[in-house]
Amino acid sequence: MADAELIVYGATEPDATVTIGGKPVKLNPDGTFRFQMSFQDGMIDYPIFAVAADGEQNRAIHMKFNRETPLPSDEHQRRRCPGMDELNHRFRLI
């Protein structure tokens, strides 16, 4: 399986608070940020919130990502039909 990363870039006011998936994100002095994580197979569901320092303004984005790495053809065949290896072995003996 190939390694993959998910990287989210953004910008807000430098004194705002940003969370991604409920975890605080460190802002650069100019308000930009970068969030990086491993991107494994499956669904990644991340709400992103920014709240102004005065608490009066807020913004929300809900991002969902899905990764499905194709299986090699022989692995795909075994997962589709778990008894296929035994079946193939029996046919070879006959």
The span from the CA of 38 to the CA of 48, in Å, is: 17
pLDDT tens digits, one per residue of 27-39:
999 999 998 888 7
Q: Is the pLDDT of residue 50 over 90?
A: yes
The reported pLDDT for the residue numbered 58 is 92
Q: How far is the C-alpha of 84 from the C-alpha of 54, rounded, in Å?
A: 63
What is the reported pLDDT for 94?
A: 35
The mean pLDDT of the chain is: 78
State the average pLDDT over residues 23-51: 89
Six-digit token pair at 33? 């940020």
Domains of the chain: residue spans and CATH: 5-93 (2.60.40)
For the whole model, what pTM was predicted? 0.63
**Parallel/antiparallel/unpaired status of strands 5-11 and 32-38:** antiparallel
> What was the pLDDT predicted at 52?
94
Phi, psi torsion values for 89, nearest 5 degrees:
-65, -40
Task: Answer yes or no: is pLDDT of 40 > 60.
Answer: yes
